[in-house]
A and B are shown apart, each in its own frame.
Chain A
Amino acid sequence: MAGAEFKTPELSEFIEVPKLVEGTMEHITCFVAKPDHQEALGFPGEKVENWKEVAIDKMGDLLSRHRSFQVFMDACVKCGACTDKCHYFLGTQDPKNMPVGRQDLLRKVYRRYFTFAGKYFPKLVGAADLTEEIIDDWYSYFHQCSQCRRCSVFCPYGIDTAEISMAAREILDTIGVGQKYCNEIIGKVHKIGNNLGLPGPAIENTLEGLEEDVYEETEVAVKYPLDVKGADILLVTPSADFFAEPHVDGLIGYGKVFHEAGVSWTLSTTASEAGNFGMFIGSYENMRRVSLRIRQAALELGVKRIVFGECGHAWRIAYSFLNTLAGPFDFLDPDYPVPQHICEYTLNEIEKGTLELDKSENDEMSITFHDSCNVARASRMGDKPGGQFEIPRKVIKAVVNNYHDMEWDTIHERTYCCGGGGGILTDDLMEVRVKGAKPRMSAFKNVMEEKGVTHLAAICAICKSQFTKVFPYYGMDMFQIVSVHQLVSNAIVMNRKTPPEEAPGYGEDDDEE
Chain B
Amino acid sequence: MSSVYALLFILATLVLVLGLARKIVQYAKTPAPLKIPTTPAPVTRSGVVMRLFREVVLFESLFKSTKWTWVFSWMFHMGLFLVLARHVRYFIDPVWLPIELIQPFGKYAAFAMIAGLAGLLIRRIFVDRIRYISSPSDYLWLLLLIVIGMSGATMTFVIHTDVVAVKQFFTGFWTLSGGNLPMDPILLVHLTLVAVLMLLLPFSKLLHIPGVFFSPTRNQVDNPREKRHLVEWARKLED
Contact = CB atoms under 8 A, between A and B. Distances in A.
A209 interface: no
Interface stretch (A42-50, A78-86, A188-196): A78-86
Nearest to B226: A337
A385 B43 contact: yes
A65 interface: yes
B227 to A, nearest CB: 8
Contacts of A367: none
Contacts of B226: 337
Interface residues of B, number: 63
A327 B26 CA distance: 28
A372 B203 CA distance: 38
Interface string B203-234: 11111100110111110001011111110011
B32 A68 contact: yes
B46 interface: no
Interface string B2-26: 0000000000000000000001001
B175 interface: no
Contacts of B203: 115-117
A320 B36 contact: yes
Contact of A77 (B30, B65, B208): B208
A100 B205 CA distance: 14
A337 B225 contact: yes
B127 to A, nearest CB: 7
Nearest to B217: A158
B133 A80 contact: yes
Contact of B129 (A98, A116, A323): A98
B33 A66 contact: yes
Most buried by B among A100, A160, A388: A160
A123 B135 CA distance: 8
Interface residues of A, number: 72
Contacts of B215: 68, 71-72, 75, 157-159
Scoring A95, A154, A157, A380 by chain B CB atoms within 10 A of each residue's CB, the highest score goes to A157
B30 A63 contact: yes
A87 interface: no
Interface string B111-135: 0000000000001100111101111
A76 B205 contact: yes
Interface stretch (B56-64, B97-105, B154-162, B176-184): B56-64
A338 B212 contact: no
B30 A95 contact: no
A385 B222 contact: yes
A88 to B, nearest CB: 14
B36 A78 contact: no
A81 B124 CA distance: 12
A35 interface: no
Given A68-B216, A154-B61, A413-B40, A78 B228 contact: no
Nearest to B132: A95
A328 interface: yes
Interface string A431-450: 00000000000000000000
B223 to A, nearest CB: 9
B172 interface: no
Which 3 A-B residue pairs are closest in the complex by CB-CB distance? A75-B211, A126-B135, A158-B217
Interface of B: 23, 26-27, 30-36, 38-43, 55, 59, 61-62, 64-66, 69, 73, 123-124, 127-130, 132-138, 140, 203-208, 211-212, 214-218, 222, 224-230, 233-234, 237
Interface of A: 17, 19-20, 63-68, 70-72, 74-85, 95, 98, 100-101, 104, 115-117, 123-126, 149, 152-160, 163, 284-285, 288, 319-321, 323-324, 327-328, 337-339, 376-380, 383-386, 388-389, 413
12 contacts: A66-B32, A74-B23, A81-B61, A154-B62, A154-B64, A156-B62, A156-B65, A156-B212, A158-B216, A323-B229, A339-B225, A377-B39
Given A71-B27, A71-B211, A149-B38, 17 more contacts: A65-B33, A66-B32, A67-B216, A75-B205, A75-B208, A76-B208, A78-B134, A84-B129, A95-B133, A124-B135, A126-B137, A154-B62, A158-B218, A284-B237, A321-B34, A377-B38, A380-B222
